[in-house]
Amino acid sequence: MDSIIFTVGMTLLWGIAGITAVGLPYCPTNRSLKARKTFLLWTGGAALLLSALWYTAIVGRLVTSGWLFVEGTVKALIPLTLLPQLYLASTILPKLKSLRESGGEPPTQTALRTVARPSVALSFLAAALASGISAFGTVFAQPVLPGPVEIVRRFMLVALLLIVPAIWARRRYLRIIRGEQLQRGFAARLLKFAFASMLSFAVAIAILVFNVLVGVNASKLPEASDMMNHDRIDEGGGTATRMSGGSPNHHQHHSNHPAGTVEVAALTGTISDPADVTFELVAQRKKITLASGAVVDAWTYNGEIAPELRVKHGDMVEVKLINQDIDSGVTIHWHGYNVPNAMDGVPGMTQNIVKPGQSFTYKFRADQEGTYWFHSHQQAAEQVVKGLFGALIVEPKQDAEAFDEQFTVINHRWTTDQGYKHAFGNQDAVQWKQVKPGQKVKLRLINTHNLSQKYLLQGTDFRIESIDGMRIRNPQPLSDQTALRLGSGGRYDVTFTMPNHPVYFKLGDYNNDSNPGIVFYADTFPEKPVFRAESALFDPSDYGRPVANEVTAAKTFDREFRLILGNEMGFYNGKFHFLWTINGEVYPRVPTLVVQEGDTVKTTFVNKSLAEHPMHLHGHHMTVLKKNGGKVKTPWVTDTLNVLPGESYEVAFVADNPGMWMDHCHNLGHAATGMILHLMYDNVRSSYEAGARSGNLPD
């Protein structure tokens, strides 16, 4: 924020100073020359002060957030602004200061020569342009990992824009040297000025048009691709993989496919085992009426809002997906469930879309107990929002769960005939549930909305028993003044013991009455619930006993990836968008992460952008090791990690599920404009194609 103010301020001040400097040789008297000179020294001084403040702010950010947050600015913007400003401070401003002329006579030839030197006007203009580019960059296109080309490009831009002024300033200077009079007439000067600005403007427009044309074309998605970025693979600094001509797996003892390669379509797991439980899900359009009477033109599985599949831990699950009438085709992705790759439901990567009249059967063993969900992965930004999702609940093998009542609370924001409505299932208002005192209640919270959501549970202490389906060891009780926040796609299992007074649960702020809520009551039917503002926010990085696994114990990793989340104005598939980028790029230009089976992999997320990004990796659970550079007290396991602006996280996983996996922002609107990349095992070959030709559109 400060950086925006500083850079915009610098641009304005240097811009004003630049125009003033251009006018210096036209001063009719020494007195007016002196007045302008004084003005210039003050504006220049103020601009230098602002830039010093900006540099200090960057150092501050470096100290508080780390190098990765400032690297782009330091490499691409600081040299650009520093160069003209240093020149001004060391040479031009002192020279102006040393002018001693005063009085009502016309300026001397020496004074005129000093102020008309092209370097005077040009250095002010260069400082203004460099500041302008920096301000634009700070707001719209933060440089992320600038290479030499990107750094030089900005200098070139300043140079190009200065060509016209430079020619003009030189011609004027020569005239002064030859002793010719400059036209002092206002009209004549205005004409010249207009002409020169038009020329400069033409140069600027030409550069802009060129960039737009290149951007539009470069951003067009291929008609057909295997979704791999073959030109840009990232091996995370590890040993060369087969993708870059390296040798096969070095962890041969871990691998089922030590020598050869395997196709995605063949990665079906234990599909020939008999099914223990079977379901049918029919994708269909359906008008759904919410509790309030608001009507949703929904796209559903089985004509329901959030149907629930409930199985037992260890079951072989078979789900037949039939598409009745969703024209763009559908799939099912098992969010957070580490199924074999061919069951992952990503069109163009792990299967073809299921078109109307077609079906596809998913089969996998339920070997993770807990709360999960599923959704279509075809054009998910549209299909999930419209309702193509449901809950997947995997109960423990024995009925040993220590609770008496359980509720799946799956929240979504619906587009209805009465506007947006948040709801738990189809309940968009307050519901009442009677529970006997002393009973243990479990709420399975699932956030299917694109943005993170806050929840309040008041009237009792409670515990978070699981995060993203993974059990917390020794979860301690939390006071009812603790709010919970779930990123998009995330889940919490919350438990409490019913007291002999009501317990209130709701989505969102305590004073937001339009959000859904649940009143749990014991005997007497209570009045309308009353909520208080929370005083704390649940923090998974300091809760229960720390997770201990292969990656928490690891001292080094086989591969380390760095994913910097940024934003910029640009093009996606030929259209202008506000883009959410990964390492400065959007799909398909984001490098593919390549691993070998058995690798331990560390990934660092750095959010330099203006929004939160719930980062979701398919097929693996990530263990969170560090937050903002420091070790977390309690590493925890997640499949969807909400990274807030200004935050960084280090997560790690073991590459133990071969295939091609998506890794993307679960704000599905962001994913739909390219905030997507892939994790690729080097012994895996693709089986499908994505793009307009096949209709497989997996965002």
* Residue number with CB closer to ligand C2O (389 or 521): 389
- Total number of residues binding ligand C2O (CB under 6 A)? 10
- Are 310 and 346 in contact by the 8 Å Cβ rule? The answer is no
What is the closest distance, in whole angstroms, from the C-beta atom of residue 666 to ligand C2O in the complex?
6
| Amino acid identity at 369 | E
Residue 33 touches which of ligand C2O, Cu ion, none (CB < 5 to 8 A by kind)?
none
Choose the one of ligand C2O, Cu ion, none that binds residue 375, judging by a C-beta under 5 to 8 angstroms depending on kind. ligand C2O
Q: Which range of residues in 28-36, 175-183, 573-581, 678-686 is near Cu ion by CB under 5 A?
A: 573-581
What distances in angstroms separate CA 236 from CA 228, 614, 623, one per listed residue? 16, 22, 18
Report DSSP state, residue 475.
Answer: P
List 607's β-bridge partners, or say none. 565
CB of 292 to ligand C2O, least distance (A): 27
Instruction: For residue 85, give Cα distances in angstroms to 40, 159, 238, 323.
Output: 14, 15, 42, 64
Q: Does the protein bind ligand C2O through residue 489 (CB under 6 A)?
A: yes
Question: Using CB distances below 5 to 8 A depending on partner kind, what does residue 670 bind out of Cu ion, ligand C2O, none?
Answer: Cu ion
CA distance 52 to 463: 49
Q: Given the complex with ligand C2O, which of 125 and 392 has the nearer CB atom?
A: 392
Closest approach of Cu ion to the CB of residue 127, in Å: 35
Q: How far is the CB of 530 from ligand C2O (least distance, A)?
A: 35
**Spatial CA neighbour of 268 closest among 674, 696, 657, 693:** 657
Q: From the list 409, 665, 676, 680, which residue makes contact with Cu ion (rule: CB under 5 A)?
A: 665
Q: Which residue is nearest to ligand C2O, using beta carbons?
A: 335
Question: What is the smallest separation between the CB atom of 487 and Cu ion, expressed in angstroms?
Answer: 10
Query: Can you list the alpha helix ranges (DSSP code H) found in 24-147?
Result: 30-65, 67-72, 78-87, 93-97, 109-116, 118-140
521 vs 661 by CB, closer to ligand C2O: 661
Based on the shown chain and the rule CB under 6 A, indicate whether residue 335 belongs to the binding site for ligand C2O: yes
8 Å CB contact between 653 and 622: yes
Pick the closest to residue 636 from 559, 549, 566, 576 (CA basis).
Answer: 549
Cβ closer to ligand C2O: 17 or 675?
Answer: 675
Task: State yes or no: residue 375 binds ligand C2O (CB under 6 A).
Answer: yes
The DSSP element (H or E) to which 16 belongs, if any, is helix 2-23
Check residue 670 for interaction with ligand C2O (CB under 6 A): no
What is the nearest approach in angstroms of ligand C2O to the Cβ of residue 698? Answer: 8
Q: Which stretch binds ligand C2O (CB under 6 A): 406-414, 479-487, 547-555, 659-667?
A: 659-667
Q: Which is nearer to ligand C2O, 132 or 329 (CB)?
A: 329
Q: Which residue has the tokens 């003044």?
A: 481
- Distance (Å, whole) CA 641 – CA 540: 11
CB 551, CB 126: distance < 8 Å: no
Stretch that binds ligand C2O, among 220-228, 538-546, 658-666, 681-689 (CB under 6 A): 658-666
Residues counted in the chain: 699
From residue 22, alpha-carbon distances to 116, 120, 157, 357, 423 in Å are 8, 8, 21, 72, 62
Closest CA to 329 of 317, 321, 339: 321
Residue whose CB is less far from ligand C2O, 377 or 506: 377
Site string for ligand C2O, 81-120 (x = CB under 6 A): ----------------------------------------
Residues 108, 113, 116: CA angle, nearest 5 degrees: 120
Instruction: Please tell me whether residue 667 binds Cu ion under the rule CB under 5 A.
Output: yes
| Residues lying near ligand C2O in the complex (CB under 6 A) | 333, 335, 375, 377, 489, 616, 618, 662, 664, 666
| Residues lying near Cu ion in the complex (CB under 5 A) | 580, 613, 665, 667, 670, 675
